[in-house]
Amino acid sequence: MPVLYLVVDDKVIVEVKAGANLTKAHEVQLVNYLRATGIEMGLLVNFGQKVEIKRRIFGQ
């Protein structure tokens, strides 16, 4: 599954995917990126069979 990661203005991590669907593992991976960087907000966007967008906020 192709993946693209973007950090926007040091405030938001955007993970763009192109797979069949999003799974819990994708969400866990995003939270791990948030935890590792100290960034609080992340967006998970999938352009698969249908567009899916999930927002995760990781508070310190």
Domain ranges within the chain, ordered by starting residue: 3-57
Dihedral angle computed from the Cα positions of residues 28, 55, 49 and 18, in that order, rounded to the nearest 10 degrees: -60
Chain centroid offset of residue 7 CA: 10
Kindly give, in sequence order, each residue whose CB lies less than 8 Å from that of residue 3, ignoring residues fewer than 6 positions away.
15, 16, 17
DSSP state for residue 36 in the 8-state scheme = H
pLDDT tens digits, the chain, 60 residues: what are they?
556 788 999 999 999 998 888 999 999 999 999 999 999 999 999 998 899 999 999 875
Burial 4-29 (b: 16+ CB within 10 A, else e): eeeeeeeeebbbebeeeebeeebeee
pTM over 0.75: yes
